[in-house]
Amino acid sequence: MTVAEREHAAAEVVDLSTTALRDLNQRLHDLAGGAPGPRHFRVVNPSGAHAVACGLDADVEVEIDGHVGYYCAGMNKRATVRVHGNASTGIAENMMSGRVVVDGNVSQSAGATGRGGLLVVRGNASSRCGISMKGIDIVVGGSVGHMSAFMAQTGCLVVCGDAGEALGDSIYEARLYVRGSVAGLGADCIEKELRDEHADQLRGLLEMAEIDADTAGFRRYGSARRLYNFHVDNAY
Amino acid sequence: MCGIVGLFAKSPEIEERLGAHLAAMLVQMSSRGPDSAGVAVYRDSAGSDASKLTLYSAHSNESWGRVSDALRDAFGECSDPSVRASHAVFVVGAEADEAESWVRANRPELRVMSAGRVIEIYKETGLPDEVARRFALEDMRGTHALGHTRMATESRVTTEGSHPFSTGLDLCLVHNGSLSNHNRLRENLRREGIEFQTENDTEVAAGYLAWRLREGAALEQALEGCLEDLDGFYTFAVGTADGFAVLRDPIACKPAVLAETDEWVAMSSEWRSIAVLPGAADAAAWEPEPGVVYAWEKELVG
């Protein structure tokens, strides 16, 4: 038996068709501060429930078999949450640290306002991915929808596919890496030179995300810095 | 908020239990819309030389038999009423618009919920589960259906203000969102002869579609016209005699998910509603793109 198989076998299984969601989340919250308890959970039958594995603050791994609803792994700290399915609005919103990995697609506002940690989406993310991100890193294996990285402040958004309209509108200092086409850049977002230091950062993020993609095809986008600081043309 | 659901059967098994599946989907959307609920079910075609009316009465002891008799006197043929709670369905030997006009002229206190050949609309205030049970959705078979759970934001919580809205024969619309130019548009459409029964914004969207279809647009074209002419937020699900379609506004704030198996096509505001369908775990599921019309059609029944 490999280590992974042993861990899998040892996982605490929680069936959401028979266990109340509040009970699951309470058990996960009780692990905060290093309290004793299982370190590996497997959640089955999520059936699109909202706020699954939300507000965690512990070194714990939660695997979810199926599709989840809104705000899964919201406010995550330290924990690893893996969704073997799709996720709806606001996956990993306001994540502080840790790692959230979604095998399928995610709906709008993935990683919104996130302050740290890594969000990996193997499929596509729809609109507003990384809206107002503040330090989170987001790696998307597919494409992102319109208004992604809107008002993004810091952190990186990596898109292996295409980006929709108004990418990086009113962006601050976040870095955007896109391999495919960009339907349109938002206000004050421009293409920037992708230097060696950026290629290194991008390579590191793709490795951490376990996504096999060549850094060569990517372009970098960021702020022209004409909008948010006290540019004389903005004074009144 | 509001929740919307749609189910399109691709197999006889799903047709047989369409109402039960729809009720289960509707109940999952209770938290999105606890004020009222409604459904449009496409079922039991009236045939090529008859039409079908769904009427609503505010009086619990309405003498539906007398309505039947009067329709029979007027048009020669009319079925006995098929009564479900406050609603009753009649199959009349007349064109649907003639039968509808007759009801408006002769029984103005009754409300025509739907008119056409296959559509039936049932809607009431209350939680989705209560509404589904009151109308015995469980035992309805049909080809496709739409449902709505309402959290009212811009007009009163009444039976009339509940969705779905039908302003054209066999046409209905359910809506999650809010429109901001509905007053001006309603006035324009009234001048074109489209009639409205409420001050509700969604009824205006339904009226807009009815007008475009009347002017010769195909359903997809009519929906694409919405992108130009409607201002506001919306996810629409639209039913016609032979199909259904889904459209989200270009901003796409309002949620929607689509899923398809060999047995069915389903749409909902949230996955929770689709998760209750047989085979959902293995369904192809995706989020409809903003501003793109998705449509499914059946061969015309009847």
Q: What is the ipTM of this complex?
A: 0.88
Phi, psi of B294 (to 5 degrees): -110, 130
pLDDT value of position B271:
96
Q: What is the DSSP letter of A146?
A: T
Segment A76-91 mean pLDDT = 98
Chain B segment 260-279 residues within 8 A of A by beta carbon are 270-276
Q: What was the pLDDT predicted at A4?
A: 60
Q: Identify whether the C-beta of residue A83 lies closer than 8 Å to the C-beta of residue A64.
A: yes
pLDDT in tens, B179-211: 999 999 999 999 999 989 888 899 999 999 999
β-strands A134-140, A118-121 pairing? parallel
Distance CA B112, CA A57 (A): 56
Chain A within 8 Å of B286 (Cβ-Cβ)?
Answer: yes
Across all residues in chain B, what is the average pLDDT? 94
Nearest to A126 among B272, B274, B287 (CB): B287
Does the distance separating the beta carbons of B272 and A49 come in below 8 Å? yes
pLDDT at position B117, please? 96
Using one digit for the tens of pLDDT, what is the confidence trace for A10-55? 899 999 999 999 999 999 999 998 899 999 999 999 999 999 999 9
Tokens for A180, please give them: 């495919």
> Which of A88, A105, A145 is closest, CB to CB, to B270?
A88
pLDDT digits (tens, 9 = 90+) for B106-157: 999 999 999 999 999 999 999 999 999 999 999 999 999 999 999 987 778 9
A7 pLDDT band, cuts 50/70/90, is: low
- Amino acid identity of residue A44, one-letter, is V
Distance CA(A133)–CA(A155), nearest Å, equals 7
CA distance A172 to B238: 41
B30 in reach of chain A (CB within 8 A): no
Size of interface A-B (CB pairs under 8 A): 41
Using 50, 70 and 90 to split pLDDT, how confident is the model at B167? Answer: confident
- Alpha carbons B77 and B95: distance in angstroms, whole number: 12
Cα separation, B146 vs B266, in Å, equals 10
**Bond prior to B288 in cis (omega within 30° of 0):** no
Q: Is B2 a catalytic residue?
A: yes
Q: Looking at the complex, report in whole angstroms how far the Cα of residue B101 sits from the nearest Cα belonging to chain A.
A: 45
User: According to the model, what pLDDT value does residue A229 have?
Assistant: 62
Q: Which of B272, B285, B287 sits opposite A69 (nearest CB)?
A: B272
Mutation target for B interface from A83, A146, A147, A150: give the one with most B CBs within 10 A: A146
Q: What is the pLDDT of residues A136-151, one digit of tens each?
A: 999 999 999 999 999 9
